[in-house]
Amino acid sequence: MVAESEYEWVVFDDSPVRSSCGKTLSMLLTVKNIQTEKRNFKVKIVPNFKQNDPKVSWEIDYSGNEGDMVQMSPDDPKEIDKRLELEKRAVREFKIRVDTPKGGSMGDTLNLHISVESEDDIHHASFLKEIELIPIIMAVKTNVGKEFEVAQNLVNQDKRDYEERLVINPSATREIMAIMSPYELKGYFYLETMHPDRITYIAKKMRNFKGVVNGEIHIDEISEQLTPKPAVAGLELGSFIELVKGPFKGEKARIMNIDHEKEEVTVQFIESAMLIPVKVRAEDIRVIDSGKS
């Protein structure tokens, strides 16, 4: 952000922005007439695009409430000129609203070159505002116990949708970029996409699909679920377990020792003639009753 002390007469936050598709971004350019007489200022906005599809348009409203909305794209760039008339010591807030395109691609970038100058040629300032499109993480709602089934069906339907669009648009890409369905998350899974509005369309009439949750999920909110937990996490000495894999599948036992480094547990069978403790992998057991109870 340009400090007010650097430009006493103009303030604008020119830090870069990373945004999803179909989102409204608001920016504020504040111009001050620091002289003791009426003066005129000129604001100029020149767009520069770097994007996959040159026909995809961005919408820019540069007038606040006056409704001067323009559509811009690499195929149809437009320069914006605005004249501000300020009385002595007056301050004018110049609102700029950018609607990112719903059909943008990852990495598409709009650079707004903004220049402000007084017509008396005393004051000049320029800014560069970079807006880059990135995917979002969203939550998909399902019937409990059907998370993986819906995720797999959604991937398959997305593939068919992609193949259909590819016939018309050779540069088409898959809508689903990644899916994560944590075991402990019931009735939901996470999905990464550039176009959240198309997920519901792809999943229409799909069994056990219950819709999408409005809003974006920041990666920090689910970072703990991205790292697999050790198989021994949460296990307690004395817990009753059942073997779900291996040669002892179906046997009931009690945990006698936990090896955190090797992720193994030593168990004593309780319904078998075998009294010798046996080491098994922690991922091969299911807890029936915790040691606490």
194-221 pLDDT, tens digit each: 999 899 999 999 999 999 999 999 988 8
What is the mean pLDDT of the segment spanning 60-77? 76
Q: Is the pTM of this model over 0.85?
A: no
157-201 pLDDT, tens digit each: 999 999 999 999 888 899 999 999 987 789 999 999 999 989 999
72-94 pLDDT, tens digit each: 889 888 898 989 999 999 999 98
CATH superfamily of 10-133: Immunoglobulins (2.60.40.10)
Give the pLDDT of residue 114: 95
Furthest CA-CA distance within the chain = 101
Question: Is residue 66 over pLDDT 60?
Answer: no
Provide the H-helix boundaries in 117-274: 147-168, 196-202, 223-226
Please state, in angstroms and as integers, the Cα–Cα distance from residue 287 to each residue in 243, 250, 252, 267, following that order: 9, 12, 10, 12
Give the pLDDT of residue 167: 94
Q: pLDDT averaged over the chain? A: 89
Domain ranges, ordered by start, for the chain: 10-133, 136-222, 240-289
Give the pLDDT of residue 46: 94
Query: Architecture of domain 240-289 in CATH?
Result: Roll (2.30)
Report d(CA 119, CA 34) in Å as an integer: 14
The Cβ of residue 186 has, within 10 Å, a number of other Cβ atoms equal to 12
Any idea what DSSP says for residue 228?
P
Question: Is residue 4 over pLDDT 50?
Answer: no
What is the mean pLDDT of the segment spanning 266-278? 83
Within this chain, domains 10-133 and 240-289 share the same CATH topology: no
Entry field: residues in the chain? 293
Question: Is residue 3 over pLDDT 70?
Answer: no
- β-partners of residue 116 are 43, 125
Give the pLDDT of residue 67: 58
CATH superfamily of 136-222: NusG, N-terminal domain (3.30.70.940)
Report d(CA 139, CA 190) in Å as an integer: 5
- β-partners of residue 49 are 110
